[in-house]
Amino acid sequence: DVPQVLAGKHITITAGPTREDIDPVRYITNHSSGKMGYALAKASQQLGAKVTLISGPVDLTPPENVKTILVSSAQDMHNTVMQNIKDSDIFVACAAVADYRPKQNATQKIKKSEQELTLTFVKNPDILSDVAHLPDPPFTVGFAAETQNLREYALGKLSRKKLNMIAANDVSNKTIGFNSEQNALTVFWPKGEKQLNIADKNLLATQLMKIVAEKFEETQTE
């Protein structure tokens, strides 16, 4: 039952964390390992797609036959996605992008003093939302990492960011989600949803891309 729908299609995927510099030696990041996004890239490639993987700093080997571009900050990732998205049929945003970055990135190492240190943060661009709001957007799939109200927050992101689909994971559960081998996803689209039970990220990635293929095909025949 391997769908042919993705054969030859161009899929762009973001993966991993972003790294937001504070000064030349310090940064802020999160626990994303990149495993879920890399598994999606591999699964998409195996389903016949031409894949571009745009990855934050991770400890993983780039998948074979996937064009992998390494980036650091959310702004870098945003620029790289925007430069590469034009001929993409499908965009999957699996990266854990920092919502905020330090307002100042000090050019010299910040010195210790007797005072408290306060950092001010400014908002980063939302890559997923910007792609979905392009004049001629690709089929756009987001992720939602939630610690509570999974359904409500995921459905909020689906409609607010104008997505075709969103895959929500409960990141309060330490055995799944960030930096684990396994995950579980609830996938929502405007007219339905599907539960993908806890499994290895490689298996889940294939299951998710098959749902993407099915829903993408529906948009092609509408």
List residues forming the annotated binding site for CTP.
99, 109, 125-128, 143, 157, 161
Contact letters for ligand PMT, residues 146-165 (x by CB under 6 A): -----------x--------
φ and ψ at residue 93, rounded to 5 degrees: -100, 95
3-state SS class at 209 = helix
The count of other CB atoms within 10 Å of the CB of residue 103 is: 9
Q: How near is the Cβ of 82 to ligand PMT at its closest, in Å?
A: 11
DSSP 40-63: HHHHHHHTT-EEEEEE-S-SSPPP
Q: Is 99 in the site for ligand PMT (CB under 6 A)?
A: yes
Question: Which of 41, 47, 53, 127 is close enough to bind ligand PMT by CB under 6 A?
Answer: 127
* Residue closer to ligand PMT, measured from CB, 170 or 217: 170
* Residue closer to ligand PMT, measured from CB, 34 or 213: 34
The three-point CA angle 165-166-172 to 5° equals 170
DSSP 170-202: ETTSTTSSTTSSEEEEEEEETTEEEEEEEEEHH
Contact letters for ligand PMT, residues 5-34 (x by CB under 6 A): ---------x-x---------------xxx
101: Cα separation from own chain's centroid: 18
Site residues (vs ligand PMT, CB under 6 A): 14, 16, 32-37, 74, 93-97, 99, 124, 126-128, 142-145, 157, 169, 171, 177-179, 183
